[in-house]
Amino acid sequence: MSDTQKFILQVKCPDQSGLIATFTQGIAQTGANILDLTQHTAEDIGTFFLRALVECKNDAASKIREHFSNLEGEKKMEWQLHNADRKIRIALFGSTTDHCFYELLLNHRDGALPCDFTCIISNHTTLEPLAHQFNLPFFLVPSDISKPEQEKKFDEILHASQTEGIVLARYMQILSKEFTEAWKHRIINIHHGFLPAFKGAKPYHQAWAKGVKLIGATAHFATADLDQGPIIWQSVQQVSDTGSIDGFIQIGKDVEKRTLLYALRLWLEHRVFLSDGRTFIL
C-alpha cells in the first residue's frame, strides 16, 4: 500500500497581494508536492480562486488542514481539501429517455468518471432494464403520488445508499425548494439550450419551425427555480437549414449527453467554484 496520497485543495477569498506565495509556501512546508495548480482572480468582484492537486505522505494531510485553518480568519477565505482518490457516490434520476444514461454509464465503465453510481431512480419503469444491464439498483418512485411522498422516498433511498450527489439525466419532474436546498450544489441537471425561448412540449419542433441555426444544451445545478441554477457547462452545435426535425432531435441528444458528461466530470474533479450564484471553472 502506498504511503502517499493525492488531495485537491480549493480556496476562495478576497483578492489581496501575496496569496499564491502564501498558499504554495504553506503547502511546501507540510512536505506536500504540488502536481498541478490553477488560479484565477475575478477582478469584477475582487475574488481569488485556487485549485491545487497535491501529493503528500499520509500524515501530511492533517498538517495541510491545520495550516489553512490558521489562515482562514486572516485571509477571510473558504477552503476545502478533498481526497483525490476517493470516489464520490452519485445517484441517477431519469424518466423515459436513456441517451444521457448510456453516456455516463459507459464512460464510468471505461474508468473516465471518478465516481460510483449508487442507483437509478425513475418515475417510469422504462429504465429498469438499463439498470439491470449495468448492475445498478432500480427504484420506481411514481409521479402520481404527492411531492412530499416522492421526496420522502428519495431521501430514504439516498440515505440508505450513502449517496452524495445527484444527476438528473433528463428527469422530467420538478423538485421542491426543500429538496433542492437540502442538496444545494449537489444536483446537476441538463436541459436543451433553447430555454427559455422554446418552453413546453416538443422544443425541437418549435426550434425547427423558427429556423434556429444553433442547437445547445446547458448543465447546471438544480434549484427550486426551474432551469435557473448556476451554470456549470454549455455546448452548442451549428445546424443546417436542410436538416429535418428528427435530425434536430438527434443532434440535441448528442449535445445534451456530452454536455452533461463534461459537467459531471468537472464537478467530480472539484473544478467548480461558486460565488454569489455563478460558477467559475478552474
Angle 100-104-108 (CA atoms, 0-180°, nearest 5)?
Answer: 170
Pair 140, 126: CB distance under 8 Å: no
52: amino acid identity, one letter: A
User: Each residue of 76-94: b (16+ CB within 10 Å) or e?
Assistant: ebebebbebeeebbbbbbb
Beta strands in 123-183 (DSSP E): 138-140, 165-168
Neighbours of 9 (CB within 10 A): 23
pLDDT tens profile 121-150? 999 999 999 999 999 999 999 999 999 999
Neighbours of 123 (CB within 10 A): 20
- Please report which helix (H) or strand (E) contains residue 89, including its range: strand 88-94
Q: Which residues pair with 83 in a beta bridge?
A: 7
Pair 217, 190: CB distance under 8 Å: yes
Mean pLDDT of the chain: 93
| Of 44-48, 89-93, 214-218, the least confident | 214-218
User: Each residue of 222-245: b (16+ CB within 10 Å) or e?
Assistant: bbeeeeebbebbebeeebeeeeee
- Please report which helix (H) or strand (E) contains residue 256, including its range: helix 245-268
Q: Residue 200 phi/psi, 5° resolution?
A: 80, -155
Return the domain boundaries, the chain. 4-83, 88-281
pLDDT tens profile 174-185? 999 999 999 999
Is pLDDT of 196 > 70? no
Distance in angstroms (rounded) separating the CA atoms of residues 105 and 101: 6
Return the C-alpha torsion angle 273, 274, 278, 282, nearest 10. -10
| Of 6-20, 126-140, 147-161, 204-218, the least confident | 204-218
CATH class given for the domain over 88-281: alpha beta
Number of helices (H) and strands (E), helices first, in the chain?
A: 8, 13
pLDDT tens profile 14-39? 999 999 999 999 899 888 999 999 99
Give the sign of the dihedral formed by CA 224, CA 229, CA 233, CA 236: positive
Second CATH level (architecture) for the domain 4-83: 2-Layer Sandwich (3.30)
Annotated catalytic residues are: 227
pLDDT, position 243: 87
pLDDT band at 169 (very low <50, low <70, confident <90, very high): very high
Work out the average pLDDT over 188-205.
78
14: amino acid identity, one letter: P
Q: Which of 262, 171, 281, 268 is nearest to 219 (CA)?
A: 262
Q: Which residue has the cell 472539484?
A: 270
pLDDT, position 193: 77
Distance in angstroms (rounded) separating the CA atoms of residues 173 and 123: 8
